[in-house]
Amino acid sequence: MIRSRDRLIIQSVIIWLGSAFLLFWLWDTWLLDGPHGPYRWVGMDFIPYWIGVREMLKGVNPYTPEVTLKIQETLYGGPAGAYDPMMFVYPGWLFVLILPLALIPLKWAVILYGSTLILLLFLLLRNLSMAWGGTRLSNISLAILILGTLPFVMIAATKGQLGYIGLMGLYLALYCWKEKPILAGIALGFALIKPTVTVLPVIGFLLWAFLTRRWPFVLGFTAWMLFLSISSFVVSGFWLPEYFQTLSIRGGMTVLWSVQLLAPPWNYLYVLYFLALLGYGLLTSLRKGDIRPWFSATILAGMGLTPMRWIYDLFVGILIPDNNPKSSVLARLSLGLAVLSPWSLLLIAERIRGECAVIGLPLIWSLIFLLENVPLARAASRGEQYLKQRKIK
């Protein structure tokens, strides 16, 4: 009989090696048409920060036009021109994280990074499946989670996106919040490696830490961010002005992308909806003395108000549900449909698929938040006689 720990180790090795082999095979086979001929899909988003960190090691500011040209030449074979130019649009403090990978050849760096990302995602999904399904339904929950994850893996993990580092950071920050606050603060710092949908959750975490006087958490976060920032300043100078200038020109596209997709008054109603959920989450957490509703609300607000153009970072929605086993059929069904919802994008025309994703997926996950946190919706999901309990006839 194989012990659960040994089984996990075997599964992890198989997944890591299998992912590495798959990325190795796809490296020269998954090609797209570009401005100078075919270019690789695998690792295309990893190339900017791989080159950027290598240039930082030379003392070069990674936001210069010269570095941008090197990125485009490595990816496309020449200048991108008007063809979706690739740039170093990330905070320079990712230097420490990418440094070990920047010291090895690009192909092997991509394979190592991508396969490790996929392994970390599997471990995260395994933990969530045990929390959501309990001992009896953990395998079914894991299968649904893996199936729901595939669109994100195919689109983002193979490209080497940074968003999953932020996902892990938020998960570990919440996981370590009560018993290991210093480690939780350090983990939260990883959520700012790519500050898009994670900015609001990070602010929310820090606000709650100040409200509850969780000073070890604040210390861990502050110390880690100072270390990341100072180390990057030492190697390439004070890069913040150039970083903000890059963001104002091109970096990361429009900040409030989803808001600009909708015409008035729908965009205002959309914003108000997520702000209302944010406020409700804070009030609920203050009443319960529990960070969980507030954390989930900040995740939702980040997804709804500051997403990227595509589904890269919307996978963070899996952190919205609480970690208690889902007791009712409606709760399990709703959560399963939310996890599998990215597959519905295949039914939508490709030209509007991205827009539908950044608007629709946050709305779907908001229903899970309501089912778990609004008393009437929560009672209905559990099949309770909410009205009878309050003696309303």
Per-residue pLDDT in tens (0 to 9) along the chain, 393 residues: 567 788 888 999 999 999 999 999 999 999 999 999 999 999 999 999 999 999 999 999 999 999 999 999 999 999 988 787 888 989 999 999 999 999 999 999 999 999 999 999 999 999 998 888 766 678 888 899 999 989 888 888 899 999 899 999 999 999 999 999 999 999 999 999 988 899 999 999 999 999 999 999 999 999 999 999 999 999 999 999 999 888 776 544 455 667 778 888 999 999 999 999 999 999 999 999 999 999 999 999 999 998 876 777 889 999 999 877 666 677 788 888 999 999 998 889 888 888 888 899 999 999 999 988 887 655 555 554 444 444 444
- Does 393 map to a domain? no
Tally the domains of the chain. 1
Residue 210 in any domain: the answer is yes
Strand partners, 34: 37
* DSSP letter (8 states) at residue 102: H
Range of the domain at 335: 4-385
Q: Is the peptide bond before 265 cis (omega within 30 degrees of 0)?
A: yes
In a domain, 290, yes or no: yes
Distance CA(129)–CA(216), nearest Å, equals 30
Q: Which residues contact 356 (CB under 8 A, 6 or more apart)?
A: 345, 348
Instruction: Rounding to the nearest 10 degrees, give the CA dihedral for residues 264, 265, 271, 274.
Output: -140
Domain-located, residue 392: no
Note whether residue 239 is domain-resident: yes
| Contact (Cβ atoms closer than 8 angstroms) between residue 224 and residue 186 | yes
Q: Does residue 354 contact residue 281 with C-beta atoms inside 8 Å?
A: no
- Which of these, 114, 102, 116, lies nearest to 74 by C-alpha position? 102
Residue 390 included in any domain? no
- Is 391 a domain residue? no
Q: Which amino acid is at 212?
A: T
The answer to whether residue 308 sits within a structural domain is: yes
